[in-house]
Amino acid sequence: MPGSRFSIAHACALILSAFCLGWMSRDGAIDFMLAGVFADPAGSGFPLRDQPLLAHIGHTGLRWLAISVWLSALAMAIAAARSAVLRPWRGSLWFFCMTVAVTTATVLMLKRVSPHSCPWDMTAFGGAASWFPSFGETGAAPGPGHCSPAAHAAGGFSLIAGYFALRDRWRALARIALLAALALGSAMSAVQMARGAHFLSHNLWSLWIAWLVGFVGYLVWRHLLRSPPAALSP
């Protein structure tokens, strides 16, 4: 089982960050301030919404990059059954693939039932939807909804699973995986914020969900294995 200090630290950090996100979304001030940076001052939307570099590379390109990482890990997990080189990593690879899939499915499910609309749908930016707090009563004109948490950012943040998959065997590589996932998720978040597709809080909730799923999955995984494998490096 993972060390108690590790588990307690992550559990406390998750609880504290959830409260911080709830506080942040109480009035939407931070979300609207940051969205306003990319909005047309005249209130007619977001000029970068269909900008080719952001739409094709920042959105579609980065999404396929995240998918490619997952598909590569899945291919290696399958190949590990017959590969002596990959066999020691078989469990870690399957854990990574399953955790990414659960994170993505969770975000998509929550997004599907969410009444919160995207910034480009808000009245403040030329749309017709009204804003309301994350855990508050739905507004009179919520708009199309289905915008929070952010599915695009989740594609990058879900790769945080790599940190939990590697930390027992190779701590240095686990940290690199964590930084890479945070960098990719942040880049994907920034692209969608610039396009008016998501508020900052939408992206941060996706990060929180990826962290929660990865952590809980790791606890279950280590419990099933009973004892951690010997470290391959200090």
Per-residue pLDDT of the chain (234 residues; tens, 9 = 90+): 456 888 999 999 999 999 999 998 888 999 999 999 999 988 789 999 999 999 999 999 999 999 999 999 999 999 998 999 999 899 999 999 999 999 999 999 999 999 999 999 999 999 999 998 887 778 778 899 999 999 999 999 999 999 999 998 889 999 999 999 999 999 999 999 999 999 999 999 999 999 999 999 999 988 776 644 443 332
As a whole number of angstroms, the longest Cα–Cα distance in the chain is 62
Number of domains, the chain: 1
Residues 6+ apart with CB under 8 A from 39: 45, 46, 119, 124, 125, 196
185 inside domain = yes
The boundaries of the domain holding residue 164 are 58-133+145-225
- Residue 32 within a domain: no
Domain membership flag for residue 106: yes
Evaluate whether 225 touches 95 at the Cβ level (below 8 Å). no
Residue 100 covered by a domain: yes
Which residues are CB-neighbours of 106 under 8 A, at least 6 positions away?
209, 213
Q: What number of CA atoms fall less than 13 Å from residue 164's CA on the CB side?
A: 30
| 10 within a domain of the structure (yes/no) | no
CA angle 227, 229, 234 (to 5 degrees): 125
Residue 19 in domain = no
- Could you check whether the bond before residue 149 is cis, i.e. omega within 30 degrees of 0? yes
Buried b (16+ CB within 10 A) or exposed e, 54-74: bbeebbeebbebbeebbeebb
Q: In this structure, is residue 140 part of a structural domain? A: no
Q: In angstroms, rounded to a whole number, what is the distance separating the alpha carbons of residues 97 and 89?
A: 12
What gap in Å lies between CA 21 and CA 94, rounded to an integer? 31
Which tokens in the block code for residue 204? 């941060």
Whole-angstrom distance, CA of residue 45 vs CA of residue 52: 17
Whether 233 is in a domain gets the answer: no
Rounded Cα distance between 217 and 215, Å, is 5
Angle made by CA atoms 12, 15, 20, in degrees to the nearest 5: 120
Give the separation between CA 98 and CA 66, rounded to whole angstroms: 14
pTM across the whole model: 0.91
